[in-house]
Amino acid sequence: MTGRFEGRRAIVTGASRGIGAAVAERLAADGAAVALVARTRADHDHLTGSLEQTAERLNRYGRPVGVVVADLTDEWDRARVVTEAVNALGGPVDILVNNAAAAIYGAVGELSLKRRRILFEANVHAPLDLAQAVIPTMRAAGEGWIVNVSSGTARSWDGPPFQLGFTGSTITAYGASKAALNRMSNGLGAELHGSGIRVNTVEPRAAVLTEGADALVGSSLTPDLIEPLEAMVEAVVALCDCGPDVTARSFVSLDLMSDWAIEVRGLDGDPLPAADS
C-alpha cells in the first residue's frame, strides 16, 4: 500500500467482479475512497461476484466505500450514479473508471437492433454520460482522470483472406462499440486538453480471464492468449495518476507497462511474490 491516491475519490463501474472489482480494490489499497457501480448488489444468477462482496474486500483498507446499484444501459438509472457516488464519498469525484460493458456476440447479419442498442448504451453512451457528469467539478478542481476500458476487438480485420480467430465475426458489433468508445475518448480528451482533465482508453493485449470472459470464451483460450488480471489493473491505475499531457490516447496494457517501466503489483498494492526459479 502506497497512499498514492490518498484524498482522491473514484467511481469504478462494473465493480461487482472482474477487472472493475480488481481496479476498485487497488485504488482503495492505495488510498482512494471508491464508489462501486454495478447491477448486482448481492448474488448474481450465474456469475460469482457482487457489489457487496467487493465492498467487503475494500473495507479492510479503511477508506470510504460507496455502493451504487444501477443499470447503465438505462439512461435514467445512470443519470443518478454520480450524484449518489458524491453523496456516498462526501465530495466530488477525481477519478472515473468506465469499466462496465455489455459483451454481446452474434453474427453481424443476424444481430437484432435491440441487442445492438444494448451494446452501444452500455459501451458508448454510459461512459460518455458519466464523464459529462463529472467534468464540471473536475474542471473546477483543475484536474481529473477518466479512464475508459476498451478492447482489441475495436481493430478491423485485414483481408481477404481474413484471420477471424476463434470467435469469428461474432465480436464485430461489440468491437464496433469499443471503436466508438476509443474515438469518443480521443475527441473528449482533445477537447478538454489544458483543463487538467485526462481522458484515455486502455485495452488488454490478451484476454483477461475474468468471470464473465471465462463464461463466454474461457474454454477456447490457450495460456498464450491470457493476460494476468494484475497487469491490466496496473495499466488502468497508471492512467488514474498520469500527467496532464497524457490524454486523448488509446493504450495497450502490457505495452504501456513496458514503455513506462512499471512493475506489476498485487491488488493490495504490495509487490507480487517472486516467481519460483
Question: Which pLDDT tens digit goes with each residue over 112-126?
Answer: 999 999 999 999 999
Which 3 state secondary structure label does DSSP give 16?
A: coil
Is 33 in contact with 10 (CB distance < 8 Å)? yes
pLDDT value, residue 174: 97
pLDDT, average across residues 82-87: 98
Residue 202 has pLDDT above 60, yes or no: yes
State pLDDT tens for residues 160-189.
Answer: 999 988 889 999 999 999 999 999 999 999
Pairwise pLDDT comparison (79 vs 206), residue with the higher score: 79
pLDDT in tens, 23-57: 999 999 999 999 999 998 987 566 778 999 999 99
| pTM summary value | 0.92
Protein fold of 9-259 = Rossmann fold (3.40.50)
53 Rama sector, left if φ>0, alpha if ψ -120 to 50, beta otherwise: alpha
The chain-wide mean pLDDT, for the chain, equals 92
pLDDT at 207: 75
Q: Give the mean model confidence (pLDDT) for residues 53-78.
A: 97
Contact 34, 86 (CB under 8 A): no
Q: Does the N-terminal peptide bond of residue 161 adopt cis geometry, omega within 30 degrees of 0?
A: yes
User: pLDDT tens for residues 246-277?
Assistant: 999 999 999 999 999 999 999 999 998 875 43
Q: What pLDDT sits at residue 220? A: 56
pLDDT of residue 120: 98
The three three-digit cell numbers of residue 114, written as one number: 435491440
CA dist 160 and 179 (Å) reads: 21
Please tell me the predicted confidence (pLDDT) of residue 32: 98
Catalytic residues: 174
Average pLDDT of the segment spanning 185-208:
95
What pLDDT shows up at residue 213? 47
DSSP secondary structure letter of residue 56: H
What CA–CA distances, in Å, run from 132 to 29, 102, 127, 253?
Answer: 27, 20, 9, 25
Q: What is the pLDDT of residues 127-154, one digit of tens each?
A: 999 999 999 999 999 999 999 999 999 9
**What is the Cα–Cα distance from 24 to 131, expressed in whole angstroms?**
18
Domain range annotation of the chain: 9-259
- Model confidence over 205-240: pLDDT tens digits? 887 855 554 445 445 555 556 679 999 999 999 999
Please determine, for residue 155, whether its predicted confidence score (pLDDT) is greater than 50.
yes
Residues 241/31, Cβ–Cβ less than 8 Å: no
| pLDDT in the model for residue 60 | 96
